[in-house]
Chain A
Amino acid sequence: MDNLQVEHALDWMAKTNEKIQDNKEYLTTLDQAIGDGDHGINMARGFGEVMKKLNGEAYQHAADVMKDAAMTLMSKVGGAAGPLYGTAFLKLSMTFKGTDVDYATFSKGIEDALNGVKQRGKAEIGEKTLVDVWSAVANALRENEGFDSEVILQSAKSGMEGSKDIKATKGRAAYLGDRSIGHLDPGSVSSFYLFESLAEVINEGA
Protein backbone atom coordinates (compact mmCIF):
# COMPACT_ATOMS: atom_id res chain seq x y z
CA MET A 1 0.00 0.00 0.00
CA ASP A 2 1.45 3.38 -1.03
CA ASN A 3 -1.53 5.62 -0.46
CA LEU A 4 -4.52 5.50 1.83
CA GLN A 5 -7.37 5.58 -0.70
CA VAL A 6 -11.07 6.13 -0.08
CA GLU A 7 -11.75 2.38 -0.09
CA HIS A 8 -8.96 1.82 2.46
CA ALA A 9 -10.39 4.51 4.72
CA LEU A 10 -13.87 2.99 4.45
CA ASP A 11 -12.53 -0.49 5.11
CA TRP A 12 -10.56 0.83 8.09
CA MET A 13 -13.74 2.20 9.66
CA ALA A 14 -15.72 -0.97 8.86
CA LYS A 15 -13.13 -3.24 10.46
CA THR A 16 -12.87 -0.99 13.50
CA ASN A 17 -16.62 -1.07 13.85
CA GLU A 18 -16.64 -4.87 13.73
CA LYS A 19 -14.04 -5.17 16.47
CA ILE A 20 -15.80 -2.62 18.63
CA GLN A 21 -19.16 -4.38 18.24
CA ASP A 22 -17.57 -7.79 18.93
CA ASN A 23 -15.82 -6.45 22.03
CA LYS A 24 -18.54 -4.18 23.32
CA GLU A 25 -18.97 -6.22 26.50
CA TYR A 26 -15.24 -6.45 27.07
CA LEU A 27 -14.75 -2.68 26.74
CA THR A 28 -17.63 -2.12 29.09
CA THR A 29 -16.15 -4.54 31.62
CA LEU A 30 -12.85 -2.68 31.48
CA ASP A 31 -14.64 0.62 32.03
CA GLN A 32 -16.60 -0.88 34.94
CA ALA A 33 -13.34 -1.57 36.71
CA ILE A 34 -11.97 1.96 36.58
CA GLY A 35 -14.71 4.18 35.13
CA ASP A 36 -18.46 4.24 34.75
CA GLY A 37 -18.88 1.17 32.59
CA ASP A 38 -20.09 2.79 29.39
CA HIS A 39 -17.08 2.78 27.08
CA GLY A 40 -18.23 -0.29 25.13
CA ILE A 41 -21.75 1.08 24.81
CA ASN A 42 -20.48 4.53 23.81
CA MET A 43 -18.07 3.24 21.18
CA ALA A 44 -20.51 0.67 19.78
CA ARG A 45 -23.19 3.31 19.41
CA GLY A 46 -20.74 5.81 17.89
CA PHE A 47 -19.18 3.46 15.35
CA GLY A 48 -22.57 1.97 14.51
CA GLU A 49 -23.69 5.48 13.55
CA VAL A 50 -20.44 6.08 11.66
CA MET A 51 -21.14 3.03 9.50
CA LYS A 52 -24.69 4.19 8.79
CA LYS A 53 -23.36 7.57 7.74
CA LEU A 54 -20.53 6.20 5.58
CA ASN A 55 -22.74 3.62 3.88
CA GLY A 56 -25.16 6.31 2.83
CA GLU A 57 -22.63 8.53 1.02
CA ALA A 58 -20.28 8.36 -1.95
CA TYR A 59 -16.77 9.58 -1.21
CA GLN A 60 -14.06 11.04 -3.45
CA HIS A 61 -11.36 11.42 -0.85
CA ALA A 62 -10.19 9.76 2.36
CA ALA A 63 -10.29 13.16 4.07
CA ASP A 64 -14.07 13.29 3.69
CA VAL A 65 -14.46 9.82 5.18
CA MET A 66 -12.44 10.95 8.21
CA LYS A 67 -14.48 14.12 8.52
CA ASP A 68 -17.83 12.34 8.55
CA ALA A 69 -16.50 9.82 11.06
CA ALA A 70 -15.35 12.72 13.24
CA MET A 71 -18.63 14.60 13.15
CA THR A 72 -20.65 11.45 13.84
CA LEU A 73 -18.48 10.34 16.77
CA MET A 74 -18.63 13.78 18.34
CA SER A 75 -22.37 13.86 18.43
CA LYS A 76 -23.15 10.18 19.03
CA VAL A 77 -20.62 8.73 21.45
CA GLY A 78 -21.78 10.58 24.56
CA GLY A 79 -18.76 10.12 26.85
CA ALA A 80 -15.24 11.52 26.85
CA ALA A 81 -14.36 9.26 23.94
CA GLY A 82 -16.65 11.35 21.69
CA PRO A 83 -14.73 14.62 21.68
CA LEU A 84 -11.41 12.75 21.86
CA TYR A 85 -11.93 10.43 18.88
CA GLY A 86 -13.86 13.21 17.16
CA THR A 87 -10.87 15.51 17.46
CA ALA A 88 -8.48 12.77 16.29
CA PHE A 89 -10.46 12.06 13.12
CA LEU A 90 -11.03 15.75 12.46
CA LYS A 91 -7.26 16.31 12.56
CA LEU A 92 -6.72 13.37 10.21
CA SER A 93 -9.24 14.84 7.82
CA MET A 94 -7.59 18.28 7.95
CA THR A 95 -4.12 16.85 7.29
CA PHE A 96 -5.35 14.57 4.47
CA LYS A 97 -7.37 17.27 2.76
CA GLY A 98 -6.48 18.09 -0.83
CA THR A 99 -3.59 15.67 -1.15
CA ASP A 100 -2.78 12.02 -1.78
CA VAL A 101 -2.50 10.29 1.55
CA ASP A 102 0.98 8.85 1.08
CA TYR A 103 3.01 7.55 4.00
CA ALA A 104 4.42 10.94 4.98
CA THR A 105 0.98 12.53 4.96
CA PHE A 106 -0.52 9.67 6.91
CA SER A 107 2.19 9.76 9.49
CA LYS A 108 1.81 13.54 9.84
CA GLY A 109 -1.95 13.01 10.24
CA ILE A 110 -1.47 10.62 13.16
CA GLU A 111 0.96 13.08 14.74
CA ASP A 112 -1.55 15.93 14.35
CA ALA A 113 -4.33 13.73 15.71
CA LEU A 114 -2.20 12.85 18.73
CA ASN A 115 -1.53 16.52 19.41
CA GLY A 116 -5.21 17.33 19.01
CA VAL A 117 -6.21 14.64 21.50
CA LYS A 118 -3.57 15.75 23.99
CA GLN A 119 -4.82 19.29 23.77
CA ARG A 120 -8.48 18.32 24.00
CA GLY A 121 -7.96 16.11 27.05
CA LYS A 122 -5.17 18.22 28.55
CA ALA A 123 -3.37 14.89 28.74
CA GLU A 124 0.24 13.87 28.33
CA ILE A 125 1.83 10.49 27.72
CA GLY A 126 1.76 8.12 30.70
CA GLU A 127 -1.56 9.27 32.20
CA LYS A 128 -3.29 5.99 31.35
CA THR A 129 -5.41 7.28 28.48
CA LEU A 130 -5.70 6.56 24.79
CA VAL A 131 -2.94 9.16 24.31
CA ASP A 132 -0.53 6.37 25.30
CA VAL A 133 -1.54 4.26 22.29
CA TRP A 134 -1.67 7.14 19.80
CA SER A 135 1.74 8.37 20.86
CA ALA A 136 3.28 4.89 20.63
CA VAL A 137 1.96 4.58 17.07
CA ALA A 138 2.97 8.12 16.12
CA ASN A 139 6.53 7.44 17.33
CA ALA A 140 6.74 4.19 15.41
CA LEU A 141 5.45 5.84 12.23
CA ARG A 142 7.98 8.62 12.54
CA GLU A 143 10.82 6.10 12.73
CA ASN A 144 9.68 4.18 9.67
CA GLU A 145 9.42 4.90 5.98
CA GLY A 146 6.44 3.07 4.59
CA PHE A 147 3.12 1.51 5.57
CA ASP A 148 4.10 -1.49 7.68
CA SER A 149 1.28 -3.36 9.38
CA GLU A 150 3.52 -5.10 11.88
CA VAL A 151 5.05 -1.82 13.08
CA ILE A 152 1.60 -0.32 13.62
CA LEU A 153 0.20 -3.40 15.31
CA GLN A 154 3.12 -3.87 17.69
CA SER A 155 3.40 -0.22 18.67
CA ALA A 156 -0.34 0.03 19.37
CA LYS A 157 -0.15 -3.17 21.40
CA SER A 158 2.75 -1.95 23.51
CA GLY A 159 0.94 1.34 24.14
CA MET A 160 -2.16 -0.53 25.23
CA GLU A 161 -0.32 -2.97 27.48
CA GLY A 162 1.72 -0.14 28.96
CA SER A 163 -1.49 1.46 30.20
CA LYS A 164 -2.07 -1.44 32.60
CA ASP A 165 0.48 -0.92 35.32
CA ILE A 166 0.34 2.84 35.60
CA LYS A 167 -1.88 5.12 37.61
CA ALA A 168 -4.60 7.14 35.88
CA THR A 169 -4.24 10.88 36.28
CA LYS A 170 -6.78 11.96 33.62
CA GLY A 171 -10.40 11.08 32.96
CA ARG A 172 -12.78 9.39 35.35
CA ALA A 173 -10.26 6.69 36.32
CA ALA A 174 -8.15 9.41 37.94
CA TYR A 175 -10.71 9.55 40.78
CA LEU A 176 -9.55 6.03 41.74
CA GLY A 177 -5.90 7.01 42.14
CA ASP A 178 -3.72 3.98 42.93
CA ARG A 179 -6.66 1.63 42.56
CA SER A 180 -6.54 2.22 38.81
CA ILE A 181 -3.19 0.41 38.67
CA GLY A 182 -3.35 -3.12 37.27
CA HIS A 183 -6.28 -2.48 34.92
CA LEU A 184 -6.09 -1.84 31.20
CA ASP A 185 -7.37 1.57 30.14
CA PRO A 186 -10.59 1.09 28.12
CA GLY A 187 -9.83 3.93 25.71
CA SER A 188 -6.39 2.47 25.04
CA VAL A 189 -7.99 -0.85 24.17
CA SER A 190 -10.49 0.72 21.76
CA SER A 191 -7.62 2.66 20.16
CA PHE A 192 -5.74 -0.61 19.83
CA TYR A 193 -8.69 -2.03 17.84
CA LEU A 194 -8.53 1.00 15.58
CA PHE A 195 -4.86 0.44 14.79
CA GLU A 196 -5.20 -3.32 14.62
CA SER A 197 -7.84 -2.71 11.95
CA LEU A 198 -5.53 -0.36 10.12
CA ALA A 199 -2.83 -3.04 10.13
CA GLU A 200 -5.31 -5.45 8.54
CA VAL A 201 -6.23 -2.93 5.87
CA ILE A 202 -2.56 -2.48 5.05
CA ASN A 203 -2.04 -6.23 4.81
CA GLU A 204 -4.95 -6.70 2.49
CA GLY A 205 -4.15 -3.67 0.37
CA ALA A 206 -0.46 -4.53 -0.02
Chain B
Amino acid sequence: MTTNDPGQSPLPDPVEGMVTDTPTGEETPFDPAIGPETVAELRSLADRYPEARSALLPMLHLVQSVQGRVTSEGIATCAEILGLSDAEVSAVATFYTMYKRKPMGTHHVGVCTNTLCAIMGGDEIFDRLCGHLDIGSDETSEDGQITLERVECNAACDFAPVMMVNWEFFDQQTPESAIEVVDRLRAGEPVQATRGARITSWREAERVLAGFEDGLVDEGPAAVGPSLAGLAIARERGWTAPSYETQAGTGRAGESKAQAEAEADTRRAESETVAEESPADTKGGKGDD
Protein backbone atom coordinates (compact mmCIF):
# COMPACT_ATOMS: atom_id res chain seq x y z
CA MET B 1 0.00 0.00 0.00
CA THR B 2 1.49 3.27 -0.98
CA THR B 3 0.26 6.75 -0.67
CA ASN B 4 0.41 9.25 -3.44
CA ASP B 5 -1.16 12.02 -1.46
CA PRO B 6 0.93 15.12 -1.92
CA GLY B 7 -0.40 16.48 1.36
CA GLN B 8 1.05 13.68 3.38
CA SER B 9 4.28 12.32 2.14
CA PRO B 10 5.21 9.57 4.58
CA LEU B 11 8.76 10.71 4.84
CA PRO B 12 8.74 14.42 4.23
CA ASP B 13 12.08 15.53 2.96
CA PRO B 14 13.12 17.88 5.68
CA VAL B 15 15.68 19.83 3.72
CA GLU B 16 14.12 20.44 0.34
CA GLY B 17 12.08 23.54 0.32
CA MET B 18 13.46 24.90 3.52
CA VAL B 19 16.87 26.21 2.57
CA THR B 20 15.77 28.47 -0.19
CA ASP B 21 12.90 30.82 -0.30
CA THR B 22 11.69 30.82 -3.85
CA PRO B 23 11.00 28.11 -6.35
CA THR B 24 13.88 29.38 -8.43
CA GLY B 25 16.20 28.97 -5.50
CA GLU B 26 17.18 32.57 -5.06
CA GLU B 27 17.18 34.07 -1.61
CA THR B 28 14.70 36.85 -1.13
CA PRO B 29 15.94 39.61 1.13
CA PHE B 30 14.79 39.06 4.68
CA ASP B 31 13.27 41.97 6.42
CA PRO B 32 14.75 42.80 8.78
CA ALA B 33 17.91 40.73 8.92
CA ILE B 34 18.58 38.87 12.15
CA GLY B 35 20.65 41.38 14.07
CA PRO B 36 22.79 41.03 17.18
CA GLU B 37 19.83 41.81 19.43
CA THR B 38 17.83 38.94 18.06
CA VAL B 39 20.81 36.64 18.33
CA ALA B 40 21.15 37.65 21.98
CA GLU B 41 17.47 36.94 22.58
CA LEU B 42 17.75 33.59 20.84
CA ARG B 43 20.66 32.73 23.12
CA SER B 44 18.69 33.84 26.16
CA LEU B 45 15.96 31.37 25.21
CA ALA B 46 18.52 28.60 24.94
CA ASP B 47 19.75 29.48 28.43
CA ARG B 48 16.34 28.78 29.95
CA TYR B 49 16.68 25.04 29.46
CA PRO B 50 18.93 22.37 30.95
CA GLU B 51 19.75 21.42 27.37
CA ALA B 52 19.85 24.24 24.87
CA ARG B 53 18.18 22.34 22.06
CA SER B 54 14.92 22.41 24.01
CA ALA B 55 14.70 26.06 23.06
CA LEU B 56 14.39 25.31 19.38
CA LEU B 57 10.60 25.66 19.20
CA PRO B 58 10.61 28.99 21.05
CA MET B 59 13.55 30.15 18.93
CA LEU B 60 11.64 29.43 15.75
CA HIS B 61 8.71 31.39 17.12
CA LEU B 62 11.10 34.28 17.69
CA VAL B 63 12.48 34.01 14.17
CA GLN B 64 8.93 34.28 12.88
CA SER B 65 8.27 37.33 15.01
CA VAL B 66 11.29 39.08 13.54
CA GLN B 67 11.09 37.97 9.94
CA GLY B 68 7.46 37.10 9.42
CA ARG B 69 8.15 33.45 8.66
CA VAL B 70 10.81 30.82 9.15
CA THR B 71 13.55 31.92 6.79
CA SER B 72 16.66 30.06 5.79
CA GLU B 73 18.62 32.76 7.59
CA GLY B 74 16.61 32.04 10.73
CA ILE B 75 17.21 28.33 10.40
CA ALA B 76 20.93 28.85 9.98
CA THR B 77 21.07 31.15 12.98
CA CYS B 78 19.23 28.68 15.23
CA ALA B 79 21.40 25.87 13.96
CA GLU B 80 24.56 27.77 14.72
CA ILE B 81 23.49 28.73 18.23
CA LEU B 82 22.44 25.16 19.06
CA GLY B 83 25.31 23.42 17.29
CA LEU B 84 22.95 21.62 14.91
CA SER B 85 22.98 21.30 11.16
CA ASP B 86 20.60 23.40 9.10
CA ALA B 87 18.93 20.17 8.00
CA GLU B 88 18.22 19.18 11.58
CA VAL B 89 16.55 22.50 12.28
CA SER B 90 14.61 22.36 9.02
CA ALA B 91 13.35 18.91 9.89
CA VAL B 92 11.84 20.33 13.05
CA ALA B 93 10.46 23.47 11.44
CA THR B 94 8.59 21.51 8.77
CA PHE B 95 6.93 19.26 11.34
CA TYR B 96 4.84 21.91 13.08
CA THR B 97 1.93 23.71 11.46
CA MET B 98 2.49 27.03 13.23
CA TYR B 99 5.78 27.56 11.45
CA LYS B 100 5.23 29.28 8.16
CA ARG B 101 7.40 29.11 5.13
CA LYS B 102 5.57 31.62 2.98
CA PRO B 103 5.53 35.28 3.94
CA MET B 104 2.60 35.92 6.25
CA GLY B 105 0.08 38.70 6.26
CA THR B 106 -0.03 41.19 9.10
CA HIS B 107 -2.71 39.06 10.74
CA HIS B 108 -3.33 35.35 10.84
CA VAL B 109 -6.99 34.37 10.77
CA GLY B 110 -7.76 30.77 11.58
CA VAL B 111 -11.24 29.32 11.31
CA CYS B 112 -11.83 26.12 13.20
CA THR B 113 -13.24 23.57 10.81
CA ASN B 114 -12.85 20.52 12.97
CA THR B 115 -16.09 18.55 13.29
CA LEU B 116 -17.88 20.36 16.10
CA CYS B 117 -17.15 23.88 14.87
CA ALA B 118 -17.63 22.92 11.22
CA ILE B 119 -21.11 21.65 11.96
CA MET B 120 -21.96 24.60 14.16
CA GLY B 121 -21.13 26.92 11.28
CA GLY B 122 -17.35 26.97 10.89
CA ASP B 123 -17.51 25.66 7.32
CA GLU B 124 -19.86 28.43 6.32
CA ILE B 125 -17.73 31.06 8.04
CA PHE B 126 -14.64 29.81 6.31
CA ASP B 127 -16.31 29.77 2.89
CA ARG B 128 -17.70 33.25 3.35
CA LEU B 129 -14.29 34.59 4.40
CA CYS B 130 -12.68 32.98 1.38
CA GLY B 131 -15.21 34.68 -0.84
CA HIS B 132 -14.92 37.99 0.92
CA LEU B 133 -11.13 38.06 0.83
CA ASP B 134 -10.94 36.31 -2.52
CA ILE B 135 -8.42 33.79 -1.26
CA GLY B 136 -8.26 30.15 -0.18
CA SER B 137 -6.72 28.43 2.80
CA ASP B 138 -3.09 29.33 3.50
CA GLU B 139 -3.32 32.36 1.23
CA THR B 140 -2.86 36.03 1.95
CA SER B 141 -5.21 38.82 0.91
CA GLU B 142 -3.94 41.13 -1.77
CA ASP B 143 -3.42 44.01 0.65
CA GLY B 144 -1.07 41.80 2.65
CA GLN B 145 -3.25 42.11 5.75
CA ILE B 146 -4.83 38.72 6.26
CA THR B 147 -3.53 35.18 5.93
CA LEU B 148 -6.44 32.80 6.12
CA GLU B 149 -6.19 29.24 7.33
CA ARG B 150 -8.41 26.36 8.41
CA VAL B 151 -7.38 25.34 11.89
CA GLU B 152 -8.02 22.25 13.96
CA CYS B 153 -9.94 22.13 17.22
CA ASN B 154 -8.66 25.01 19.29
CA ALA B 155 -9.97 23.80 22.65
CA ALA B 156 -12.91 26.17 22.65
CA CYS B 157 -15.68 23.89 21.38
CA ASP B 158 -18.13 25.20 23.96
CA PHE B 159 -17.77 28.56 22.17
CA ALA B 160 -18.31 27.11 18.68
CA PRO B 161 -17.99 28.24 16.01
CA VAL B 162 -14.58 29.64 16.81
CA MET B 163 -12.22 31.88 14.88
CA MET B 164 -8.68 32.72 15.94
CA VAL B 165 -6.92 35.97 15.08
CA ASN B 166 -3.22 35.79 15.79
CA TRP B 167 -4.17 32.92 18.12
CA GLU B 168 -6.62 35.00 20.14
CA PHE B 169 -10.16 33.73 20.65
CA PHE B 170 -13.11 35.08 18.68
CA ASP B 171 -15.93 33.01 20.05
CA GLN B 172 -19.40 32.16 18.77
CA GLN B 173 -18.88 33.69 15.37
CA THR B 174 -21.29 34.11 12.50
CA PRO B 175 -20.22 34.72 8.91
CA GLU B 176 -21.18 38.37 9.38
CA SER B 177 -19.25 38.85 12.62
CA ALA B 178 -16.20 37.16 11.15
CA ILE B 179 -16.27 39.39 8.08
CA GLU B 180 -16.62 42.44 10.29
CA VAL B 181 -13.58 41.45 12.33
CA VAL B 182 -11.53 40.92 9.21
CA ASP B 183 -12.62 44.23 7.70
CA ARG B 184 -11.74 46.12 10.86
CA LEU B 185 -8.33 44.48 10.91
CA ARG B 186 -7.71 45.48 7.32
CA ALA B 187 -8.79 49.04 8.05
CA GLY B 188 -6.37 49.18 10.97
CA GLU B 189 -9.20 49.71 13.45
CA PRO B 190 -8.85 48.43 17.01
CA VAL B 191 -10.13 44.91 17.47
CA GLN B 192 -10.56 43.16 20.79
CA ALA B 193 -10.62 39.38 21.17
CA THR B 194 -13.73 38.01 22.86
CA ARG B 195 -11.52 36.22 25.39
CA GLY B 196 -8.19 37.92 25.20
CA ALA B 197 -6.38 41.13 24.47
CA ARG B 198 -6.67 43.71 21.73
CA ILE B 199 -5.20 42.44 18.54
CA THR B 200 -1.62 43.39 17.86
CA SER B 201 -0.14 41.48 14.95
CA TRP B 202 0.85 37.96 14.12
CA ARG B 203 4.50 38.84 14.57
CA GLU B 204 3.94 40.32 18.00
CA ALA B 205 1.94 37.26 18.98
CA GLU B 206 4.84 35.05 17.90
CA ARG B 207 7.14 37.00 20.18
CA VAL B 208 4.96 36.25 23.19
CA LEU B 209 4.84 32.59 22.23
CA ALA B 210 8.62 32.61 22.00
CA GLY B 211 8.81 33.64 25.62
CA PHE B 212 8.64 37.39 26.01
CA GLU B 213 5.78 39.10 27.83
CA ASP B 214 4.03 42.01 26.16
CA GLY B 215 2.13 43.56 29.07
CA LEU B 216 -1.33 42.65 27.76
CA VAL B 217 -2.01 39.86 30.24
CA ASP B 218 -4.55 41.85 32.23
CA GLU B 219 -6.78 42.56 29.27
CA GLY B 220 -9.88 40.47 28.67
CA PRO B 221 -11.95 38.47 31.10
CA ALA B 222 -11.01 35.57 33.36
CA ALA B 223 -13.94 33.55 32.14
CA VAL B 224 -17.17 34.33 30.34
CA GLY B 225 -20.32 32.64 29.11
CA PRO B 226 -19.85 28.93 28.58
CA SER B 227 -16.78 28.83 30.84
CA LEU B 228 -19.08 29.83 33.69
CA ALA B 229 -22.12 27.79 32.68
CA GLY B 230 -21.91 25.24 35.46
CA LEU B 231 -20.62 27.67 38.05
CA ALA B 232 -23.50 30.05 37.45
CA ILE B 233 -26.01 27.25 38.06
CA ALA B 234 -24.18 26.17 41.19
CA ARG B 235 -24.22 29.72 42.52
CA GLU B 236 -27.90 30.06 41.74
CA ARG B 237 -28.87 26.86 43.48
CA GLY B 238 -26.41 27.11 46.32
CA TRP B 239 -24.51 24.01 45.21
CA THR B 240 -20.94 23.66 46.42
CA ALA B 241 -18.28 21.05 46.91
CA PRO B 242 -18.14 19.78 50.49
CA SER B 243 -16.16 22.20 52.63
CA TYR B 244 -12.54 21.38 53.39
CA GLU B 245 -12.07 19.41 56.60
CA THR B 246 -9.44 20.46 59.06
CA GLN B 247 -6.68 18.23 57.77
CA ALA B 248 -6.23 15.40 55.39
CA GLY B 249 -7.01 12.06 56.91
CA THR B 250 -4.43 9.91 55.24
CA GLY B 251 -5.80 6.44 55.26
CA ARG B 252 -2.94 4.51 53.74
CA ALA B 253 -4.89 1.75 52.14
CA GLY B 254 -3.21 2.20 48.78
CA GLU B 255 -4.38 0.41 45.71
CA SER B 256 -2.76 -2.67 44.35
CA LYS B 257 -1.17 -2.37 40.96
CA ALA B 258 -3.44 -4.99 39.53
CA GLN B 259 -6.39 -2.94 40.64
CA ALA B 260 -4.96 0.16 39.08
CA GLU B 261 -4.27 -1.66 35.88
CA ALA B 262 -7.78 -3.03 35.73
CA GLU B 263 -9.13 0.44 36.22
CA ALA B 264 -7.05 2.37 33.74
CA ASP B 265 -9.14 2.07 30.66
CA THR B 266 -7.25 2.74 27.48
CA ARG B 267 -4.16 1.65 25.76
CA ARG B 268 -2.62 4.97 26.74
CA ALA B 269 -2.98 3.92 30.33
CA GLU B 270 -1.80 0.43 29.60
CA SER B 271 1.49 1.68 28.30
CA GLU B 272 1.84 3.87 31.34
CA THR B 273 1.03 1.01 33.65
CA VAL B 274 3.89 -1.03 32.38
CA ALA B 275 6.16 1.81 33.41
CA GLU B 276 6.13 0.42 36.89
CA GLU B 277 8.22 -2.52 35.82
CA SER B 278 10.99 -0.35 34.58
CA PRO B 279 12.04 1.47 37.73
CA ALA B 280 12.54 -1.89 39.38
CA ASP B 281 14.63 -2.98 36.42
CA THR B 282 16.98 -0.10 36.68
CA LYS B 283 17.21 -0.44 40.41
CA GLY B 284 18.41 -3.96 39.96
CA GLY B 285 15.22 -5.42 41.27
CA LYS B 286 15.03 -3.34 44.38
CA GLY B 287 11.29 -3.07 44.07
CA ASP B 288 9.89 -6.10 45.79
CA ASP B 289 6.75 -5.94 43.72
Whether chains A and B associate is no
Interface residues of B (CB under 8 A from A): none
Interface residues of A (CB under 8 A from B): none
